[in-house]
Amino acid sequence: MSAIQSKAKGPSGKRTAYYGRLSGGSMSCRSSELTRDDVITPARLRAFSPSDFEAYSARGEEFRRRLCGAVLHALKLSDAWRTDCESRGEWGGVFPVHLRLTHRTCKHVTLDILSPGAESPFWHGLIWIMPDHTGLYVLNSERFDPVAIRALLARTEEMIAAGVRPAEIAARLGRRGMH
């Protein structure tokens, strides 16, 4: 879908750029009807449907980066995590928000945070058992839940600090029956 731009005057009388569908179609954004300058809050992230995420990310790389940035900002990660986000489909392009969090002192511990979209209606946390080969879902949630994601990351940090090996961390997180 190519972005449709409309220059319309906003309430302040200034012209604002609108990027997205102007009418109809299966990819219309109900709660995600945002302009380039609108802030994506945690409340908006919780209100987005899977099709809202898909439609918003389909607007292009800039909008996809904004989604990822909003999620990272809401998570308020500790300095223990190195972050990366998919913007051009480099990890398959399946999820509108695809964050990759790698522990700074234990580079073999990587968790992906995945938003709802066409592939799945849920938020997922995926820990990699063998990088780029096998992963285990350790978090599934119907709505964006930064508290649950931070708890998952805190438990992971505790195990790393205790000297637990990466494969055992994955096994323990998987056995816990996360959300």
The region that residue 162 occupies, defined by phi over 0 for left and psi between -120 and 50 for alpha, beta otherwise, is: alpha
Helix (H) or strand (E) holding 53: helix 50-57
**CA distances in angstroms from 119 to 60, 93, 115, 160, listed in the order given:** 18, 10, 10, 31
Residues 6 or more apart in contact with residue 7 via CB below 8 angstroms: 15, 16, 17, 18
CA 114/CA 122 separation, integer angstroms = 8
Strands (E), the chain: 4-9, 15-20, 81-85, 98-103, 110-114, 123-130, 134-141
CA 128/CA 122 separation, integer angstroms = 18
Specify the pairing of strand 110-114 against strand 123-130. antiparallel
- Domains of the chain listed by start with CATH number: 4-175 (3.40.50.11880)
Encode the chain (179 residues) as per-residue pLDDT tens digits: 222 223 333 444 443 332 332 223 333 344 446 666 678 999 999 999 999 999 988 998 889 999 999 999 999 999 999 999 998 888 888 999 999 999 999 999 999 999 999 999 999 999 998 766 788 999 999 999 999 999 999 999 999 999 999 989 999 998 865 44
Amino acid symbol at 24: G
CA 178/CA 75 separation, integer angstroms = 18
CA 82/CA 38 separation, integer angstroms = 27
**For the segment 42-83, what is each residue's pLDDT rounded down to a tens digit?**
999 999 999 999 998 899 888 999 999 999 999 999 999 999
